Chain A
Amino acid sequence: MRPTLSHFAVAGSPVMLESIVFSVLNGLLYGMLLFMLASGLTLIFGMMGVLNFAHASFYMLGAYCAYTISSYTNFWVALILAPLFVGFLGALTERFGLRNVHKHGHVAELLLTFGLVYVIDELVVLIWGQIPVNYAIPPSLDFTLFTLFGTSFPAYRAFILFVAIAMFGAIYLLLVRTRVGMIIRAALSHPEMVGALGHDVPRIFTLVFAFGTGLAGLAGVMAGNYYITEPGMAFSMGPIVFVVVVFGGLGSLGGALAASLIIGLVTTFAVSLNYSIADLLAAVGLGLDGANIAGGLAHIDLSRIGQMLPYLMMVLILIFRPRGLMGARES
């Protein structure tokens, strides 16, 4: 038996509306989480030209640190301390790792962070084990904020949205209003200029890397309890964050925001509008025989394509617009 297609038959009915509203909400939420990760990655790339492969690993470290810190204190302390600690680890990475291979070029830097993925992921297993840890949503945020169409919207999701937006605002102000921000912005568009202006480039690099990884840590703090804190979380997040950053345009904060939201919405809608092309055709009165090849392809569910869509989008944009949605320059 097929799923009923009443949604399509009575488009505009509350059922359809409900599905859309919740897909938008879920998509926004996922998108903002992606953005929290992508913003740090794109800043680091824009400033240093380093594509930090281990970014999602720092995200995972954020979640685990928050788990440990909150088990001794509480969530709010962890929310402050865990990103700071992750940022500190990032600074160490830059100071004692990346700086040494800088002379060998960007590919060497990329390879170093690639190796770090293995090291960090394994260290997490070493310290916290392979079994998911019980990093829970704080009780003070564990309630239903409002109920819409009979579906409740948990307060913690609203909190994630709030933190993500606050973070975007803070980064934006930092970049536009402060001196450091101006230097970083100058470096984003003309990296060779900053050194010429007499700034201590290595120190700025360390700071930017620490800041970027700290943002990843913050994303980990927020997402670790919303999802599940387990050693596979970096690997499942890593490639998609790259997609976001490349799609939005390497080094572009606005692009990262737009790309995060687009990809968040696209993947969410692909799941919630889970009808195969054949279903759609059937809805308009066209039957397709599943046995032939065209029929076989048409019977692939959207949700299955959904997993592939972000990567397809990334490959297409790299072919047709290599600098991404809003990238300032081609890598």
Chain B
Amino acid sequence: MSDALKLANVHKRFGETPIIRGVDLAVAPGERHAIIGPNGAGKSTLFNLISGRYTPSEGEIALHGKRISGLAPHQINRRGLSRSFQITNLFQNMTVFENLRCSLLWAQGYKYSFWHLVGRQTALNEAAEQWLERLGLSARRDVPASLLTYAEQRTLEIGTTIAGGADVILLDEPTAGMGLAERDHTMAMISEVTQDKTLLMVEHDMGVVFELADRISVLVYGQIIASDTPEAIRANAAVQEAYLGEAH
């Protein structure tokens, strides 16, 4: 069976400056994979390459064995990959419910229809309501996204990423800037909603990483220096030196 996500010798240069310098990575279906690394290692750039925001300068990215590098973000999304953003990236003027419903539209096959009224699409609305409940945002159903609290916005961010039904999910620092209680709550929510999905996430919080991840890759200066189980990474001397030793 092919890998859910596979990167082969991926490079990215901005002008003359190399940011990603030959990354190879394979994520198996159903795996929860975390990428860690110091600031400026290129984690966000890597996510942007996978999700189609940037095109690799070199190398290839494949989703379920099919090449996706060079495709536009929406094309990649339709092939079953979805991502969240480090800085909350919602439809700010829409309500929570509208945000979730928008993320369901393509998945439910509405495309650019201008002959359906969304209010009368029972299945669509019920799905959106279910997501509201799953995310614990039912009480905030009709509040514009811009008026949510930070934690609620993060929750909605993850919700809109996952609601569309993609089976490969990229989460960019899902718990960044949260307090401990909020963090645990979000963690639980992520584990709940990403069951049976392939998960790739960037995270700074080592607690989160070691708790959630099946495998961890360490990215340093645009290269993956180690990729293994959490226990092995914890024991890896090179990682200790290059990263953990410094970070903690």
Do A and B touch, yes or no (CB under 8 Å, in the complex)? Answer: no
Give me the interface of B with A, judged by CB distance under 8 Å: none
